[in-house]
């Protein structure tokens, strides 16, 4: 006689998801099936997770590195704002130039934020007393 409340190891093994069909992933307490080839769905990074970014990057890698679109990067290259060299019809952009551009974008955003803060202060939006 078998006790229905006691599971055998074979029964518990049968409850596990089949690797051919997917991987069970609990999300917020709900089991979600994920495809086995989930690694193929993860976007490729321009650098290894355990190392520095490459010294030179393609247009696509540079776009990922800056968080911009490849078209944006291509426009910067064509305007001469980002230097590049061509290797077999592919452009390579130095990481140092990308880091400098990233810093330039950061400084522009910082200046714009300072200006917006100043305008808000001038308009009285930061006063301790609010109009009623």
C-alpha 71/C-alpha 119 separation (Å) is 33
CA distance 64 to 124: 40
Q: Domain residue spans in the chain?
A: 56-122
Residue in the structure block whose two tokens are 């890698």? 61
pTM of the model: 0.55
pLDDT digits (tens), the chain, 132 positions: 445 455 444 444 444 444 444 445 555 566 656 555 655 555 555 455 567 788 999 999 999 999 999 999 999 999 999 999 998 989 999 999 999 999 999 999 999 999 998 888 888 776 666 555
Tally DSSP H helices, then E strands, for the chain: 5, 5
Please report, to the nearest 10 degrees, the dihedral formed by the alpha carbons of residues 75, 78, 81, 82 taken in order.
Answer: 90
**How many residues are given for the chain?**
132
């Amino acid at each position: 006689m078998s006790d229905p409340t006691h599971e055998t190891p074979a029964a518990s093994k049968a409850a596990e998801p089949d690797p051919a069909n997917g991987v069970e992933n609990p999300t917020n307490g709900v089991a979600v099936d994920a495809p086995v080839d989930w690694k193929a769905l993860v976007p490729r990074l321009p650098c290894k997770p355990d190392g520095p970014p490459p010294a030179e990057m393609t247009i696509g890698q540079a776009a990922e590195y800056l968080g911009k679109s490849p078209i944006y990067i291509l426009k910067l290259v064509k305007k001469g704002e980002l230097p590049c060299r061509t290797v077999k019809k592919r452009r390579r952009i130095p990481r140092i130039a990308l880091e400098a551009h990233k810093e330039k974008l950061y400084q522009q955003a910082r200046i714009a934020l300072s200006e917006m803060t100043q305008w808000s202060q001038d308009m009285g939006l930061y006063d301790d007393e609010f109009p009623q």
